[in-house]
Structure 1
């Protein structure tokens, strides 16, 4: 039975052209090997380029770190300055609102400003006032000299 099977396989191999079936596979393998070699050379080139780029750019980036840190400090100082100005603006707006209530000023024309002076009926029931111990206390405002140098207009102080 083994001899018969071997004989049939030999006849099959003689009748079929193995070269026709194997040649496309071999050429496909050769093409894949060529592409793999191209990819490998491309990978080596990219690796060399990235190493040289890193070696050149990292020192330049590190050299800029001090300037970047200074810029971050200036931005932080500017943010604190803007917050302080905003606080002062809110304080002044509140003070003006209270003053307008005390003077009964509702419009900003000359007539509206003079109206409280000639109005005989004054209300004695005023809940809000800018007076402390009978005197007007000026709100504490920022000093720009604390934030800006006279030489350069940069934000210095927090």
Structure 2
């Protein structure tokens, strides 16, 4: 019966040693994560925030340009309409005027 207890104790010591080994691996991985990986992630976050800010500025610029283009397009259309009506009026006036013939001079 003592032999069984010794075997059980040996088995428990082996399992305890395995458990300690696993906790050491986890502790090392955690230290590496905290010391190396997280600072890299923080640096990438700062870099991405700068990129997001630039994208936001670019979007605002594109919207502003779009508004100006729409405004200018409306002005061009208005000028074309105005020019067309003036052009038609001038044509009507010129067509209504009789031009004397200079053939018999």
Please give the TM-score of this superposition, normalised by the length of structure 2.
0.56
Q: Name the count of aligned residue pairs.
A: 76
Greater relative contact order: 1 or 2 (C-alpha under 8 angstroms, separation 6 or more)?
Answer: 1
Give the superposed CA RMSD: 3.2
The question of 1:69 aligning with 2:42 is answered yes
Q: Which residue in 1 is equivalent to 2:30? A: 58
Please give the TM-score of this superposition, normalised by the length of structure 1.
0.39
Gaps of 5+ in 1: 1-33, 106-114, 123-158
CA deviation map 1:50-88 (0-9, x unaligned): 312122212211222222111000111111111110000
Give the whole-Å Cα distance in 2 for the aligned partners of 1:42 and 1:119.
98
Q: Which residue in 1 is equivalent to 2:80? A: 116
Structure 1 runs (4+) deviating above 3 angstroms are: 40-46
Q: Which has the higher helix share?
A: 2
The question of 1:82 aligning with 2:55 is answered yes
CA deviation map 1:10-68 (0-9, x unaligned): xxxxxxxxxxxxxxxxxxxxxxxx9xxx8x67964663243121222122112222221
- CA gap 1:46/1:98 in 2 versus in 1, 3 angstroms: farther
